[in-house]
Amino acid sequence: MKLALVVPGGVDRSGEFRVIPVLLALIERLARIHDVHVFALRQEAAPDRWKLAGATIHNIGDGWTRLRAIKAIHAEHQKAPFDLVHAIFSGSCSFVAVAAAKWLRLPSVVHIAGGELVALHEIGYGGRQKWKGRLREALVLRAADAITAASAPIIDSLRGLGLHAERIPLGVDLKQWPPISPRGRTGAQARLVHVASLNRVKDQPTLLRALAALAKAGVNFRMDMVGVDTLQGEIDRLAHQLGLEPYIRFLDFKTQRELRPIMAAADLLVMSSLHEAGPLVLLEAAVLGVPTVGTAVGHIAEWSPQAACAVPVGDWEALARAIQHVLAHEELRLHLASEAQRRAMAEDADYTAGMFEALYHQLLAARFSSGLRIAR
């Protein structure tokens, strides 16, 4: 098959920085047996083309991006026809993918991977904040031949909008993240880790207030916070105000190679997000035998209580209690870790690619069958 994948970015030519690792894992697996062309809307400001993970990357760049992306897919189709167009993320990506597919009379797939279905007005986040966004999503998603999403809460959100979707998680590349069996804690100090950009959606103030409550309760812990600061030091200043300097290290961005040993050394991953389709970091932690405590979003809500511990969004007191409870009950922590690892390994990057390939074949078979009926 010749496949067109439409993505917002995450496919930097370095292969290490400004990338989405699970996206690269999917691309690499599809490219082993298919001719894969990735249309990145704004990986770089200027249009360009490069090879990555066995695929051809077409960077569209700034200025009339969606229109030029549709034209770029059409131009590549003229060289050799595509079989299918697939958007990873909705919004602009799904608009481009579905519009191009309709123009070329091809099947289209849209994968919901972010905040396309939410409206968090208090932080200015989500694809459904304005009527134009809601109308665009309604029209585009209903025009797609198939919709997929990573976790059950997103499937439920789509069902609430009257849309059917198939659950296909974006799995971890086990070659890049070799599994480590869950292991008991060593030492009196608990090692916590939080991996996310410092931004409004990840809601680090809730996390810091939970950590302050742990410190006040006398819990002996150390937290590594890994991620780019997009809030100009706001979270660092709050940590100072809460007296958390002895407990926290801000480690900024880390490549996958740099992140693995930090994650592997942790006893617990802690997330405080207002919204997640994943989070993907939960899967990476699970593969390394590290369980997660976090707010009830995405996989955290989906896996709780058997394979993760979920608390209400924004509730720092509940988050603090949950962290303390899991750390105080080693048998529970190891049980969560084992079940989380089992699930993450069962739905790894190979599983993801296989599920998407099966869906592609199903759509193409349906299109072929429909064409035969029309011809008759």
53, part of any domain = yes
User: Which pLDDT tens digit goes with each residue over 42-57?
Assistant: 999 999 999 999 999 9
CA-to-CA distance for 309 and 335, rounded, in angstroms?
A: 11
3-state SS assignment for residue 247: coil
**Number of domains making up the chain:** 2
Claim to verify: residue 58 and residue 144 sit in the same structural domain: yes
Q: Return the biggest CA–CA distance within the chain.
A: 77
In the chain, at which residue ranges do the beta strands (DSSP E only) sit? 2-7, 35-40, 48-52, 55-59, 84-88, 108-112, 146-149, 166-167, 190-195, 221-226, 248-252, 268-271, 292-295, 309-311
Claim to verify: residue 363 and residue 319 sit in the same structural domain: no
* Res 367: pLDDT: 79
* Res 376: pLDDT: 42
User: Which pLDDT tens digit goes with each residue over 5-46?
Assistant: 999 999 999 999 999 999 999 999 999 999 999 999 999 999
* Res 210: pLDDT: 98
Claim to verify: residue 23 and residue 145 sit in the same structural domain: yes
For the chain, residues with pLDDT lower than 50 are 372-376
Claim to verify: residue 338 and residue 367 sit in the same structural domain: no
177, part of any domain = no
* Res 117: pLDDT: 84
Claim to verify: residue 264 and residue 370 sit in the same structural domain: no
User: Residue 108's closest CA among 119, 100, 117?
Assistant: 100
Claim to verify: residue 264 and residue 151 sit in the same structural domain: no
Q: What pTM value is reported for the model? A: 0.94
